[in-house]
Copies of this chain bind each other. A is one copy, B any other.
Amino acid sequence: MNWIAVEHGKSQMRAWLIRDGKASAPAIGENTGSAAQDLSEHALIQLIGDWLGPRPTLVLISGKTKTPERPVPTAPIDLTPVKMPTTDARVLAYGLPGLSQSTPPDLMYSDATRIAGFLTLNQGWDGVVCQPGPHTSWALISAGEVVSFQSFLTADMANLLTRQFSLEDITHQTDWTIQTYARALDDVLARPERLATALNVLRIGDPVQDLPKAEAQARLWGALVGAELAAARPYWLGQQLAVIAPKALSAPYLQAFRHQGVPVTIADAERMTLAGITAARKRMA
Contacts and interface: CB of A to CB of B under 8 A. Distances in A.
Interface of A: 35, 100, 102, 104-107, 135, 150-153, 156, 160-161, 164, 166, 192-197, 199-201, 203-204, 207-209, 227-228, 230-232
Contacts of A232: 196
Contacts of A207: 107
A200 B35 contact: no
B153 A203 contact: yes
A35 B166 contact: yes
- Interface centre among A100, A195, A204, A228, by most B CB within 10 Å? A204
A196 B166 contact: no
A105 B201 contact: yes
A95 B227 CA distance: 39
B153 A200 contact: yes
18 contacts: A102-B208, A105-B201, A105-B208, A106-B201, A106-B208, A150-B197, A151-B200, A151-B204, A152-B196, A153-B196, A153-B199, A153-B200, A153-B203, A156-B203, A160-B160, A160-B161, A192-B192, A192-B193
A104 B197 contact: yes
A106 B200 contact: yes
A20 to B, nearest CB: 38
Contact of A194 (B35, B194, B204, B231): B231
A100 B208 contact: yes
A152 B197 CA distance: 7
Contacts of A107: 204, 207-208
A161 B153 CA distance: 11
Nearest to A153: B199
